[in-house]
Amino acid sequence: MRLENRLDFLCVLGVSLRLCVRFFLLAAALPGIASEADVPYVPTPANVVDTMLNLGKVGPDDYLIDLGSGDGRIVIAAARRFGTRGFGVDIDGALVSEAQREAQKQGVADKVAFYARNLFITDISKASVLTMYLLPQVNLRLRPRLLTELKPGTRVVSHDFDMDNWKPDDRVTVPVPEKPYGEPKSEVYLWIIPANAAGTWRWRLGAGAAARDYEVVLEQTFQILSGRATVGAQPAQLGNARMRGEAIELALVARIDGRDVRHEFSGRVSGDAITGTVAVRAAPSQRLEWNAKRVARGKMTIEASARSAPDFVPAHSLREIYIAQEWK
Ligand SMILES: C[S@@+](CC[C@H](N)C(=O)[O-])C[C@H]1O[C@@H](n2cnc3c(N)ncnc32)[C@H](O)[C@@H]1O
């Protein structure tokens, strides 16, 4: 672990300089912490590995990459359970050798590989599932790369640490009675890389005299959409708008023939086209095809995070991870 990272979180802990130096020397002496490691080695318990694979809906057609793969248990478990291919990278060469031996032993060496490599210079574009058990500030350093280098629909699964204001699409708490730090439970977070749906979209619903033109201008922050809408040149209310990979959902309430009519749209974004259906909650309710075209592209916002400053680091987690290392 880099000296500046250690000192960062020591400052967060607010401990005395003497203690800081002792802590630094202790961490440097711990086995399994390579000199350039950004995160100490703490293995994910087997029940949490299972939950990560389940939440990420990992299957035989996936390609899984574990960033900071330790003894390789996540990649190996996916290959054993589902025949999933993939690789792990770790900065610690001894852990990489251990993972390679374990893959041989468990008969999955033809499906998986492990490399001694820094995760920050690892090509992740091939992943359909990316797993991580890192630290909050490492997740945040990776965040822009995840959102720009991974394909829409790729599942990102993180053990214990979130992505600040990029809220997860799903989350599960797993009991871990033997956890060596914090409360006896683990959090597992799932994000699905959103397609970019920002911009101006137009479509028409209905036929003949009943036909109406719709226009929606969407702004996008991560997977959340907001913006404004018009139906037949009248303003309409836009809500519940979000992406899940390439899938888009949005609701509109439009004033039509003197009544508020709710529309629930769901479809898929492919380039500058959306195809899907809409449920129009009028009397009688009807389901129609939805085909929209993007006439002007927008930019997805990947906000700078308030948490990138060192003082957001959950000091107890870091301290206790290190204490856990000491116990190993
Ligand atoms: C908390 S452990 C997780 C191990 C494994 N993914 C698991 O869940 O059991 C984090 C791992 O990241 C590795 N690591 C830390 N910094 C790294 C970096 N910059 N590049 C690659 N690996 C790194 C550590 O050596 C350690 O094995």
pLDDT digits (tens, 9 = 90+) for 200-221: 999 999 888 889 999 999 999 9
Instruction: Give a yes or no: residue 72 inside a domain.
Output: yes
Residue 249 has pLDDT above 80, yes or no: yes
The pairs formed by 8-14 with CB atoms below 8 angstroms and a separation of 24 or more are 8/137, 8/310, 8/313, 9/310, 9/313, 9/315, 9/318, 9/319, 11/310, 12/310, 12/311, 12/313, 12/315, 12/318, 13/315, 13/318, 13/319, 14/315
> Are residues 35 and 127 located together in one domain of the fold?
yes
* pTM reported for the whole predicted model: 0.85
> Are residues 169 and 264 located together in one domain of the fold?
no
| For ligand 1, mutation pick of 2, 49, 69 (most atoms within 8 Å of CB) | 69
Indicate if ligand 1 lies below 6 Å from the C-beta of 74. yes
Residue 29 has pLDDT above 90, yes or no: no
Say how many Å lie between the CA of residue 73 and the centre of ligand 1: 12
Average pLDDT over residues 285-300: 96
Average pLDDT over the chain, rounded to an integer: 86
Domain that holds residue 77: 3-193+310-327
The least confident of 181-185, 186-190, 233-237, 323-327 is 323-327
What b/e string do you get for 64-84 counting C-beta neighbours within 10 Å, with b at 16 or more? bbbbbbbbbbbbbbbbeebeb
Identify the DSSP state of 233.
Answer: T
Average pLDDT over residues 297-315: 63
> Are residues 65 and 165 located together in one domain of the fold?
yes
Residue 19 has pLDDT above 80, yes or no: no
How confident is the model at residue 306, as a pLDDT? Answer: 55
Residue 310 has pLDDT above 70, yes or no: no
Q: How confident is the model at residue 191 (pLDDT cuts 50, 70, 90)?
A: very high
> Are residues 165 and 219 located together in one domain of the fold?
no
Indicate if ligand 1 lies below 6 Å from the C-beta of 5. no
> How many Å apart are CA 188 and CA 172, to the nearest integer?
5
Indicate if ligand 1 lies below 6 Å from the C-beta of 37. yes
Say how many Å lie between the CA of residue 158 and the centre of ligand 1: 12
Reading the block at residue 305, the tokens are: 């995070």
> How many Å apart are CA 185 and CA 294, to the nearest integer?
45
Handedness of CA 244, 248, 254, 256 (dihedral sign): negative
**Three-class SS state of 230:** strand
**If residue 64 lies in a helix (H) or strand (E), which one and from where to where?**
strand 63-67
> Are residues 120 and 62 located together in one domain of the fold?
yes
How confident is the model at residue 284, as a pLDDT? Answer: 86
Q: Per residue in 105-116, pLDDT tens?
A: 999 999 999 999
Say how many Å lie between the CA of residue 142 and the centre of ligand 1: 14
Residue 102 has pLDDT above 60, yes or no: yes
